[in-house]
Chains A and B, each alone.
Chain A
């Protein structure tokens, strides 16, 4: 297709050029200049055609105007400039001024109509766009607002949105609760009306302030107030937001937290720490002449309840005990606390002369012994061992009272289950000394102050040393094993004693071999109850034997009688295993502090386990047997016991023999070995006298 501009003469080419410049200077046309030139040439063609005929086509002008708008020739002064160059160019080309003027007038009319249409369409689009944007914004705003509303209504903190002068615009339910008024009552009122101290300086924005608010009826409540400003887009403050935090709520929460830290969660009773401070307080508040009674109760065999019925039953028992103790003293000025796993304390501040301690203890025991049935129908009655102390506040401090009751409890426990004891100052002093030593033991061991000592064991028949007993030795004169048993150090002390003392086994073999009978041990170790029950005992002994290459029979290991009989831990297995290995087994503690000794069960045990040695310690509780009448029942019983044990195949040894006279007495009864002051105190390896001859 030929370029229409080529069809025009030079004047027309000049006109197109001029028009192009107008367009370029006034309008943005999203086309190339070539495309625009083509458009202008086509438009000019239409105009010259219209002027050529004698009867001009009146539709041409408006159409050209329309096409100009469609072609984006719509800069602010594009029409004006275009009409100017067209008028000049067309008249210069010889067209009459009047037809040209009429034609261009119709061009501008068409242009105006088209531009108006376009403008209206664009405005319509923009209105639609604005509406859409507003709807979107509104939707977003509503979503934001409903999220806010959720927070506002559900907040535990009171929130007030107020005018800048403090008039409530909106309040949330929490605020109504804090102020103790329905939300409707807050309308159009100001926050200041509810503040008690209106002479206080005004609230500082952004800072928390403690104020009192007035509730209906005139009472006040402490609150924390925090205000902030709500600003508009221009940063101008429009509203005030005040957060109101109820301090009494915080107080309550704080109380609850402290209750939790001071109380036992299971029973709700004060815990040990809290009890001590309450004891202190009650002690201080008691008038000087009034008596205080403190009972410490330890539930008997509670571990058995736990292992037999499970911890939930155990927990139930504890709660029952807590309730019953509380109920038993509810009429008194008293305090019940759970001071340990299965230990409770009852403190009574007597307001009149009290009944004897025994009456109180019995009353509590009766309460506790009532069986407790749970849904499963298992009836559990508990008993307790009780330590008691009664005094005025001048006699003992609160701390001393607690310690005294605890000491009495420990004493009662040593008497057996279901016992009670009242604090005895003399007994306490002795126990306290022991306690001090016992607690010093771990440090002594840590510091290497603990050593091995040997005590000679003699054959009573010829008073010849035939073996040694190894002991853990403290620089004081107490047997460390006894202390260890009190502190829990006992278990590791057993292997230590066995292993360390076995280092000297060869020496004892060499020393005693010439004198001992066949199958007789040269080395004795007596284990505490805990050590006797130690599951690792036989492994330790095996390791010791492996390390020394000594015959098992050169070792004599004594287990605690009570531990074996009471099936404590692995004590029975240990006794059996040691015997199987070939170690000379012994039992000791035959004359325990508690109760009858040498009873049928003990003798039966000796027979059943093939115990080789039975070691008696102080069966006459400090009395010398050679000074006792032979017909005295304990003497006769002991003599018969020795005979019975020998007939069961065991040899009998005795500890603590004071002198040769006593040794002779024991020898006459058929006792084979003895140790004690008569034959030398515990000493070092080199203190053991060399073999005679």
Chain B
């Protein structure tokens, strides 16, 4: 302890350890970004060791997000609520949506301080996109946030995006109730685009990932096909249902020659009844 003495106030614990590895920065690293710190890269290396397919999994998940957003734009959705958006690396939702239609509005949500600060910087000049620092397991905080209410019209369809984030939600948080809370807030005709890790596809590697992620701020909880299907209660799944990310409406021009079942993550899109 080096706290005694002169600095009388320093016994107050520093609440947040900003430099602990974060899943958002790990994801960025796996996608080839440099929005990360040494701790994150260290974690990423252990992640790759546990799951040598780590980069492909990240890439497929990111592609799924892009394809699902594009599909929603085609279906007429012009506003998006992206939960667990992380570090805005290449190909962000607002870029995808606003390229398709510049009037598209996007609210990002992340609870992590650096991701929030970074997003604020990136979005400073974009009046139609913003970020709310909140925990997605507290839907009311997000739904009631003034930024959310200002940018999104809950009487119109909303693209609710939970891409590669729900595996951070512990079963104790009652995931079904959480999804239902968001579902109940959005208008019929809204969509949920959802993806998350599963043990169904590569159980050994998944177990190793869970072990690795225990040391991060974001431990992981993979879910089975059935568990994920249950989360879509109140939604009608669009084709092809819940499948590995690489098989969800793939862009056939990108043939990497890999086994799509090694995508590690299930994805699906549903339309609110």
Residues of A within 8 A of B (CB): 20-21, 23-28, 30, 32-34, 36-37, 72, 74-76, 78, 118-120, 122-123, 125-126, 128-130, 132-134, 136-137, 140-141, 144-145, 148-149, 161, 163, 167, 169-170, 230-233, 238-239
Contacts and interface: CB of A to CB of B under 8 A. Distances in A.
Contacts of B91: 28, 30, 72
10 contacts: A23-B254, A32-B251, A36-B253, A76-B32, A122-B34, A129-B117, A129-B118, A132-B121, A136-B117, A137-B16
Given A21-B257, A132-B117, A230-B13, A126 B18 contact: no
A149 B251 contact: no
Contacts of A30: 62, 66, 90-91, 95-96
A230 B11 CA distance: 9
Contact of B55 (A33, A75, A167): A75
A34 B253 contact: yes
B171 interface: no
A27 B59 contact: yes
Contacts of A161: 11
B251 A28 contact: no
B15 A137 contact: yes
A129 B256 CA distance: 35
A494 B14 CA distance: 82
A149 B117 contact: no
B95 A76 contact: no
B252 A33 contact: yes
A128 B119 CA distance: 11
Contacts of A118: 34
Contacts of B258: 25
A128 B121 contact: yes
Contacts of B52: none
B75 interface: no
A33 B251 contact: yes
A25 B256 contact: yes
Contacts, number: 131
Contact of A137 (B113, B118, B120, B251): B113
Interface of B: 1, 3-4, 8-9, 11-19, 31-37, 55-56, 58-59, 62-63, 66, 90-91, 95-96, 113-118, 120-122, 251-258
A169 B121 contact: no
Contacts of A231: 13
B10 to A, nearest CB: 9
B257 A25 contact: yes
B264 to A, nearest CB: 15
Nearest to A74: B32
B95 A33 contact: no
A392 B182 CA distance: 87
Contacts of A28: 31-32, 58-59, 62-63, 90-91
A20 B121 contact: no
Nearest to B15: A141
B11 A125 contact: no
Contacts of B14: 137, 141
B34 A123 contact: yes
B17 A233 contact: yes
Contacts of A36: 253-254
A37 B253 contact: yes
The 5 tightest CB contacts between A and B, nearest first, are A33-B253, A30-B91, A129-B118, A25-B256, A122-B34
Given A27-B32, A126-B35, A134-B18, A232 B13 contact: yes
A141 B90 contact: no
Contacts of B90: 28, 30, 72
B116 A133 contact: yes
A230 to B, nearest CB: 7
Given A28-B90, A32-B253, A137-B18, A122 B33 contact: yes
Contacts of A141: 12, 14-15
Contacts of A26: 55, 256
Most chain B CB inside 10 Å of its own CB: which residue of A20, A126, A140, A170: A126
Contacts of B9: 145, 149, 170
Contacts of B34: 118-120, 122-123, 126
A134 to B, nearest CB: 6
Contacts of A72: 32, 90-91
A126 B33 CA distance: 11
B177 to A, nearest CB: 28
B55 A136 contact: no
Contacts of A21: 255-257
Given A28-B31, A169-B11, A126 B37 contact: yes
Given A30-B62, A238-B13, 9 more contacts: A24-B256, A33-B253, A33-B254, A74-B32, A129-B114, A130-B18, A144-B12, A163-B4, A232-B13
Contacts of B95: 30
A148 B9 CA distance: 10
Contacts of A75: 32, 55, 59
A140 B14 CA distance: 10
B63 to A, nearest CB: 7
Nearest to B56: A25
Nearest to B40: A126
A612 B1 CA distance: 106
B16 A239 contact: no
A72 B59 CA distance: 12
Contacts of B256: 21, 24-26
Given A125-B35, A169-B3, A230-B11, A24 B66 contact: no
Given A24-B256, A132-B121, A169-B3, A145 B55 contact: no
Contacts of A78: 32
Given A28-B62, A76-B55, A126 B114 contact: yes
A391 B257 CA distance: 118
Contacts of B37: 126, 130
A129 B12 contact: no
B154 to A, nearest CB: 28
A385 to B, nearest CB: 69
A472 B115 CA distance: 94
A75 B258 CA distance: 16
Contacts of B118: 125-126, 129
B59 to A, nearest CB: 4
Contacts of A120: 34
Contacts of A25: 56, 256-258
Nearest to B13: A232
Contacts of B116: 133
B1 A163 contact: yes
A169 B35 contact: no
Contacts of B58: 28
Contact of B36 (A126, A134, A137): A126
A141 B14 CA distance: 8
Most chain B CB inside 10 Å of its own CB: which residue of A30, A33, A36, A78: A30
Contacts of A145: 9, 12
Contacts of B255: 20-21, 24
A34 B70 CA distance: 15
B14 to A, nearest CB: 7
A141 B113 CA distance: 14
A27 B58 CA distance: 10
A440 B21 CA distance: 87
Contacts of A123: 34-35
